[in-house]
């Protein structure tokens, strides 16, 4: 089953790319030549046959395997995963290029069902693996170094051992997965089909949200009120999606004896709940010195008594409205990457020249931005909705960071390449920081520096404060759903309960803002994913501090960290830099960087 290939960034875009130059489009032929390519059918046939043969050869026999036999078993599983990943990556990427295309939606759905059916006989593998004694596996690892390399995968699987159900129930849940995916597609297709009338033009949701970053305050207000009105007209559908998915999750979690709705995400992220709670506590405690303080500054810059939601991402009055062409964006990011280490540009170059980026804004295209690694035998693909705004350049830097990370981690092979979500944002946020620092160094005036610093602070607040507020909203929503069906008003109230706390007293909230939860895709596609953004930003801020202090051999250690993929725990990966995410002071180090930028902005007012 394919979920969103990589959780999208909350980026606002609009249809059109005039004056931006030639925007690249995906070339998906590295996956398959066409939707009806014989190679795709051949891979489907392989998956069907290989899954059945795998089950016939190994079901009920894992305990009998010696180290060499277990290695062969794992490698066969990896080969099947690679074929399935290639098939679903192709179908998914075609769909995200045009979610309103019925043919693409049908192919994605049909292939999901086939892959689910074909792979059902393999459900036994993880279940049976978890019934093997720890000392038995330790003995096998000691006997075969090639098998021992896969130990992190075994550890990840066995982390779910306390929550494992009977074989029959696990098979049932596997087959039922396509139904849950249908709710995700309902959300995607509903969002993609919404239309908004602003300034005499009909726009999609991304085209409307981007107006919230325009200089014209009346236009921003009109856009915000139109978003509120259209979302309110559809809020029953969105509430139904959230109620159903939250209830389904509650049932599965209850059967699996999960201690909390978030626990499954923590397990899959290979992060301890107390580490996430330390992050959350640090960020919430920092609201007054971060978002509250910054938005009070911005309120003064905008000359307002109170800020409204349509002012949150407004440009500063002195901000340059010039659009940045694609060629300039590419040059800026590549120079920033190259100044850090030439190896970065070598890895990044094919993204621009070989059709690995889809940058333009087209009808029905998935909103926001993501980088999807596909499979390790191919390469990642990046989706953008590029409109030439400074934030779009930073989004390019962000997603290209993901792409570089995914290329480097591919050396680990299919099973070990996938980075836990808590570390998956490392290279992307670091790439943003490199690009920002380059732009800041190139600033020619105090005003340019102020605009850049303010933009970076806003991005960091959106990444840290906003995402932790999102996380708190999700925690409240899933807890409340355990008590019964939630009306749209119930969900609206939960949303508003975190907004004032996170944004601060500079804001008042228009009627209608209470439904803005309904367009956020993360809540539907990847429950509790959002804290990974804050985790990544805090981690990178601490990491960048080490780099800025001139840490010897930093680049080589950084590349080693990215190459590790999912083969090491965050504690192991951060140790060479002298960092430890389980130390509460670690998060303060990252938050201090944001606070320091705000200090500099306040000093400019004196």
Q: Which of 506, 590, 490, 600 is nearest to 541 (CA)?
A: 590
CB 230 within 8 A of CB 192: no
Q: Two tokens at 112?
A: 């999901």
User: Could you tell me if 26 and 358 are in contact, meaning their C-beta atoms sit under 8 angstroms apart?
Assistant: yes
Phi/psi at 507 (5° precision): -105, 150
Angle at 363 between CA 405 and CA 108, to 5 degrees: 60
30-to-26, 44, 87 alpha-carbon distances in Å: 10, 17, 12
- What is the crossing angle of helices 102-119 and 167-193, to 10°? 170
Token digits for 194? 């919404």
Domains of the chain: residue spans and CATH: 1-22+196-320+420-606 (1.10.1370.20)
**SS3 state of residue 322:** coil
d(CA 536, CA 562): 13
> 546-569, pLDDT tens digit by residue?
898 888 899 999 999 999 998 988
CA-to-CA separations, 546 to 282, 460, 551, 554, in angstroms, rounded = 20, 19, 6, 8
Phi-psi label, residue 60: left if phi above 0, alpha if psi -120 to 50, beta otherwise:
left
Which pLDDT tens digit goes with each residue over 126-162?
889 989 999 999 999 999 999 999 999 998 888 888 8
Contact, 536 vs 271, CB < 8 A?
no
With tokens 């590029």, the residue in question is 386
- Owner of token pair 């019925």: 102
Provide CB contacts within 8 A for 148, sequence distance 6+: 141, 142
Pairing status of strand 357-358 against strand 201-203: unpaired
Q: Which residue is associated with the tokens 């004694």?
A: 133
| Beta-bridge partner residues of 358 | 383
Mean pLDDT by 10 residues, the chain (606 residues): 40 54 96 97 98 97 97 97 97 94 95 94 90 94 96 88 83 78 89 94 90 94 97 97 94 92 88 91 95 96 96 87 91 97 97 97 89 96 92 93 96 91 86 92 88 92 94 97 96 96 96 96 91 88 89 94 91 90 84 93 86
Q: Residue 29 burial (CB < 10 Å; 0-12/13-18/19+)? A: exposed
| Residue among 377, 376, 338, 379 nearest 356 (CA) | 379
Q: Give the bridge partners for 507, in sequence order.
A: 307
The answer to whether 312 and 6 have CB atoms below 8 angstroms apart is no
Q: Are 482 and 250 in contact (CB under 8 A)?
A: yes
Kindly state the DSSP code that residue 198 receives in the 8-state scheme.
Answer: E
Report phi then psi at 243, rounded to 5: -60, -45
Backbone dihedral region of 578: left (phi > 0), alpha (psi from -120 to 50 degrees) or beta? left
Beta bridge partners of 370: 383
Q: Which distant-in-sequence residues (6+ apart) come within 8 Å of 528 by Cβ? A: 261, 262, 265, 471, 474, 475
**What phi and psi values does residue 382 have, to the nearest 5 degrees?**
-115, 130
Up-side HSE of residue 328: CA atoms within 13 Å toward CB?
Answer: 15
Contact between 362 and 98 (Cβ < 8 Å): yes
Backbone angles phi and psi of 198, in degrees to 5: -135, 130
In the DSSP assignment, the letter for residue 418 is P
| pTM across the whole model | 0.81
Confirm if 264 and 414 have CB atoms less than 8 A apart: no
The span from the CA of 356 to the CA of 171, in Å, is 36
Concatenate the DSSP letters of all residues of 338-369 into one string.
HHH-HHHHHHHHHHHHTT-EE-S--TTPPSS-
Q: Which pairs with CB-CB distance under 8 Å and at least 24 residues apart come from 411-415? A: 411/563, 411/565, 412/376, 412/563, 412/564, 412/565, 412/566, 412/567, 413/78, 413/376, 414/78, 414/81, 414/82, 414/85, 414/375, 414/376, 414/377, 415/74, 415/77, 415/78, 415/81, 415/150, 415/153
- Find out whether 120 and 175 touch, Cβ atoms under 8 Å: yes
Residue 605 pLDDT: 81
């Amino acid at each position: 089953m394919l979920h969103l290939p990589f959780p999208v960034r909350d980026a606002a875009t609009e249809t059109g790319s005039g004056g931006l130059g030639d925007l690249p489009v995906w070339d998906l032929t590295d996956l398959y030549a066409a939707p009806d390519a014989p190679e795709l059918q051949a891979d489907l046939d392989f998956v069907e046959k290989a899954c059945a043969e795998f089950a016939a050869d190994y079901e009920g026999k894992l305990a009998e395997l010696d180290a060499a036999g277990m290695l062969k078993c794992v490698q066969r599983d990896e080969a099947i995963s690679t074929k399935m990943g290639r098939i679903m990556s192709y179908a998914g990427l075609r769909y995200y290029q045009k979610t309103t295309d019925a043919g693409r939606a049908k192919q994605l759905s049909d292939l999901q069902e086939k892959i689910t059916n074909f792979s059902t006989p393999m459900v036994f593998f993880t279940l049976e693996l978890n019934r093997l004694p720890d000392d038995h596996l330790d003995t096998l690892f000691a006997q075969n170094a090639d098998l021992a390399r896969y130990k992190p995968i075994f550890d990840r699987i066995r982390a779910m051992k306390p929550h494992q159900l009977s074989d029959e129930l696990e098979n049932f849940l596997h087959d039922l997965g396509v139904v849950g995916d249908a709710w995700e597609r309902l959300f995607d297709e509903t969002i993609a089909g919404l239309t908004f009338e602003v300034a005499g033009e009909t726009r999609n949701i991304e085209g409307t949200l981007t107006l919230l970053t325009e200089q014209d305050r009346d236009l921003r207000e009109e856009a915000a009120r139109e978003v509120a009105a259209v979302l309110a007209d559809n809020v029953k559908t969105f509430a139904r999606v959230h109620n159903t998915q939250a209830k389904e999750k509650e049932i599965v979690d209850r059967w699996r004896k999960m201690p909390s709705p978030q626990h499954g995400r923590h397990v899959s992220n290979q992060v301890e709940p107390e580490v996430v709670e330390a992050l959350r506590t640090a960020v919430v405690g920092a609201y007054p010195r971060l978002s509250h303080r910054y938005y009070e500054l911005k309120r003064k810059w905008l000359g307002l008594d109170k800020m409204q939601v349509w002012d949150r991402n407004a440009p500063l009055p002195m901000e340059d409205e010039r659009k940045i062409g694609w060629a300039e964006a590419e040059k800026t990011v590549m120079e920033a990457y190259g100044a850090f280490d030439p190896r970065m540009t070598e890895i990044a170059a094919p993204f621009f020249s070989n059709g690995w980026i889809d940058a333009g804004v087209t009808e029905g295209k998935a909103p926001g931005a993501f980088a999807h690694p596909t499979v390790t035998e191919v390469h990642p693909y990046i989706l953008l909705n590029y409109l030439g705004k400074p934030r779009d350049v930073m989004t390019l830097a962000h997603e290209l960071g993901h792409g570089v990370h995914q290329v480097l981690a591919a050396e680990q092979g299919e099973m070990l390449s996938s980075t836990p979500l808590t570390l998956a944002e490392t290279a992307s946020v670091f790439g943003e920081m490199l690009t920002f620092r380059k732009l800041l160094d190139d600033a020619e005036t105090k005003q340019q520096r102020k605009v850049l610093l303010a933009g970076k602070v806003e991005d960091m607040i959106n990444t840290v404060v906003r995402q932790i507020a999102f996380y708190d909203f999700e925690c409240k929503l899933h807890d409340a759903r355990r008590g019964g069906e939630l009306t749209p008003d119930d969900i609206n109230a939960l949303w508003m309960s975190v907004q004032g706390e996170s944004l601060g007293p500079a804001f008042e909230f228009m009627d209608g803002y209470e439904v803005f939860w309904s367009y956020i895709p993360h809540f539907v596609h990847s429950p509790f994913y959002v804290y990974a953004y804050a985790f990544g930003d805090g981690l990178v801020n601490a990491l960048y501090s080490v780099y800025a202090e001139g840490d010897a051999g930093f680049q080589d250690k950084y590349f080693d960290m990215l190459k590790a993929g999912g083969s090491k725990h965050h504690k192991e990966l951060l140790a060479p830099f002298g960092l430890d995410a389980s130390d509460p002071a670690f998060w303060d180090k990252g938050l201090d960087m944001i606070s320091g930028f705000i200090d500099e902005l306040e000093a400019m007012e004196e």
